[in-house]
């Protein structure tokens, strides 16, 4: 796949191509983490526009109507996300397939989400690639498109083609793209934003690729208020301290101590922005003995103080 690093500060331009019957769930799981990355990263990492083939409104499977920003023929960018759903076979028409082939010259990368892989394959845009699709259609997909290597995966990146298996997996895919472009710290913060604190503290982390890292992240998340020494994190993760350090370094490109600090400060920012708790209480809930220590760490991590984070959020409401 082409480089997703936009360290030059240019926002990644994404087109989201909708068809009647698209899944609200898939759309939300795609757009919301992008929105969160912009908000938490405090700059526009991603810009997206809604597209349809003709420019007319698209209506989801549950009746939600989206008025697009324009027709596909007028759009270009870094990534086109093709998003039909179970009505995909009704879109296997010459205008749709020609439109996708034409768009492949204007978009650097193409992604088929949910049943979008079927349209990309029918347009000849996945020939010779490894691809996936919604699990219910895997067998049929492999039979209809023998030139593909079909795999049962949540998502697959093969060069400048991406395929994704469904609505839940689209969230994982977008987190993966954020990791590639912006690094694991922001992706982890985006992931944490969509977890209910305390409701399911041991939900496996998507950004942690190895089982050991997922266990360690869960242990750290379970002990934000009273952080554990690293040997105890390793013991609770059922591994040696050395194995823990190697796994965290591999998955997050940081030490376990740095990762633990990021998790605690991410929680501090959420509490500062979404509650009226005194900062001293926020500090205690995030494992800091006093607000001053938390504020120093917070400023180094985010470039602003907790008070400024709270004020900026109030200004947007």
Query: Does the model's pTM come out above 0.75?
Result: yes
* 118: helix, strand or coil: helix
Q: How far is CA 141 from CA 26, 119, 130, 241, in A?
A: 20, 11, 12, 45
Spans of all domains in the chain: 12-180, 198-316
Q: What is the pLDDT of residues 29-42, one digit of tens each?
A: 999 999 999 988 88
Is 12-180's fold the same as 198-316's? Answer: no
Name every residue whose Cβ is closer than 8 Å to that of residue 111 and which is 6 or more positions away in sequence: 79, 80, 81, 82, 161, 162, 163, 164, 173
What's the token pair of residue 99?
């439109």
Distances, alpha carbon 222 to alpha carbons 119, 127, 256, 294, 315, in Å: 43, 45, 15, 19, 32
Is it true that domain 198-316 has CATH number 1.10.10.60? Answer: yes
Q: Taking Cα atoms as reference points, which of 262, 185, 278 lies closest to residue 224?
A: 262
Which letter does DSSP use for residue 115 in this model?
Answer: T
pLDDT in tens, 160-211: 999 999 888 999 999 999 988 988 888 888 988 886 544 443 344 556 678 8
For 67-100, how does the pLDDT look when each residue is reduced to its tens digit (9 = 90+)?
999 999 999 999 999 999 778 899 999 999 999 9
CATH architecture of the region 12-180: 3-Layer(aba) Sandwich (3.40)
Q: Distance from CA of residue 230 to its chain's centroid? A: 28
């Amino acid at each position: 796949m082409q480089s997703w690093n936009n360290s030059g500060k240019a926002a990644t331009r994404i087109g989201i191509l909708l068809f009647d019957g698209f899944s609200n769930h898939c759309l939300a799981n795609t757009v919301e983490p992008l929105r969160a990355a912009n908000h938490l990263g405090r700059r526009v990492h991603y810009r997206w526009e809604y597209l349809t083939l003709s420019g007319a409104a698209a209506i989801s499977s549950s009746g939600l109507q989206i008025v697009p920003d324009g027709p596909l023929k007028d759009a270009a960018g870094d990534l086109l996300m093709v998003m039909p759903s179970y009505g995909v076979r009704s879109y296997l028409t010459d205008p749709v397939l020609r439109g996708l082939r034409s768009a492949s010259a204007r978009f650097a990368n193409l992604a088929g989400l949910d049943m979008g892989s079927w349209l990309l394959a029918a347009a000849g845009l996945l020939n010779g690639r490894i691809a996936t699709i919604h699990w219910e259609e895997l067998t049929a997909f492999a039979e209809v498109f023998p030139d593909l290597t079909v795999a049962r995966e949540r998502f697959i990146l093969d060069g400048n083609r991406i395929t994704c298996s469904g609505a839940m997996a689209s969230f994982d895919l977008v987190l993966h793209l954020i990791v590639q472009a912006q690094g694991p710290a922001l992706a982890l913060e985006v992931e944490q934003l969509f977890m209910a604190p305390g409701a399911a503290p041991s939900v496996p982390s998507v950004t942690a690729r190895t089982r050991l890292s997922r266990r360690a992240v869960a242990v750290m998340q379970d002990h934000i208020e009273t952080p554990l020494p690293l040997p105890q994190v390793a013991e609770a993760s059922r591994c040696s301290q050395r194995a823990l350090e190697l796994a965290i370094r591999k998955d997050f490109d940081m030490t376990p101590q740095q990762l633990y600090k990021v998790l605690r400060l991410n929680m501090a920012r959420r509490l500062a922005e979404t509650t009226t708790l005194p900062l001293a209480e926020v500090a205690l809930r995030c494992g800091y003995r006093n607000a001053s220590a938390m504020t120093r760490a917070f400023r180094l991590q985010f470039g602003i103080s907790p008070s400024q984070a709270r004020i900026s959020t109030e200004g947007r409401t």
